Structure 1
Amino acid sequence: MTEPEFTATGVRIGRRLRSLTRAGQVRIRGGRLELLTSYGREIDSAPIGEVRAGKPWFGSPDRATAEVDGRRYLLRLGGQGDDQSGDMGGDAGPRAARRFIEAVRKATGRSG
């Protein structure tokens, strides 16, 4: 079993104005993006080639958007344990958001 290409925990995942989970997980593993609740239940998943990631126009720097099969999710990556290096400094959320966007773009072959 290979290591995941990206993992973030403690992620707030929402759609439009509705919060789906406050402590979810985002994983890129085996060529798929998975959005999971805090209990590990799948919210959505798709092959990474069908996923678009970016930054919202307005909002804090610890946020990213993921469009999965036409459904747009707002991810707040400022939660606990989302930085794999173990350094939980004040910029852990923005750093995790950048890493997520870069991981999706790298996996899909898009530049940004």
Structure 2
Amino acid sequence: MSETEFSETGVRIDRWARSLSRAGQVTVKDGRVALLTSYGREIDSAPVGTVSAGRAWFAGGDATVARVNGTRYRLTMPRRPGKSDGAGPARRFLEALRNAGGERD
């Protein structure tokens, strides 16, 4: 299974108070979740089964909170103009994790 289940660019990746990337990338591929900087450098990655993610009450509709290797990250997905379907990137990320066997909070 070499097909990418989820990939989104332009993602703001925060380790709570600290911004790690304002235009990063999140991918779910080959059973792994990877958080990358805008230059493609890996911030963190882990097998899908060990990653938990969900929406926090304080996060907006375009943000999720993911725990990768025990570290919590806030992932704010970009809003694409003209796309008003109910499945925004944050929702598609959570669905890709669930379908790949990850935990959902």
The normalised TM-score by structure 2 is 0.88
Question: Is 1:106 equivalent to 2:99 in the alignment?
Answer: yes
Question: Is 1:52 equivalent to 2:52 in the alignment?
Answer: yes
Runs ≥4 residues deviating over 3 A: 109-112
Instruction: Tell me the CA shift for residue 2 of structure 1.
Output: 2.6
- 1:33 to 1:111, Cα distance in 2 relative to 1, 3 A: closer
**Unmatched 5+ residue regions in structure 2?**
none
Structure 1 SS opposite 2:96: helix
Tell me the residue number matched to 1:85: none
> Identity of paired residues, percent?
54
Tell me the residue number matched to 2:90: 97
Question: Is 1:40 equivalent to 2:40 in the alignment?
Answer: yes
- Give the conservation status (yes or no) of the 8 Å contact 1:4–1:30: yes
Equivalence map 1:54-93=2 (5 Å): 54-78=54-78, 88-89=81-82, 91=84
**CA distance in 2 between partners of 1:106 and 1:38 (Å):** 26
User: What is the Cα-based RMSD across aligned positions, in Å?
Assistant: 2.3
- Give the conservation status (yes or no) of the 8 Å contact 2:54–2:104: no
Greater share of strand: 2
Letter in 1 for 2:59: G
Structure 1 SS opposite 2:39: coil
**CA distance in 1 between partners of 2:71 and 2:95 (Å):** 20
**CA distance in 1 between partners of 2:68 and 2:27 (Å):** 13
Q: How many residue pairs were aligned?
A: 105
- Give the conservation status (yes or no) of the 8 Å contact 1:33–1:48: yes
Letter in 2 for 1:53: A
The normalised TM-score by structure 1 is 0.83
Structure 1 SS opposite 2:4: coil
- Give the conservation status (yes or no) of the 8 Å contact 2:62–2:79: no
**Unmatched 5+ residue regions in structure 1?**
81-87
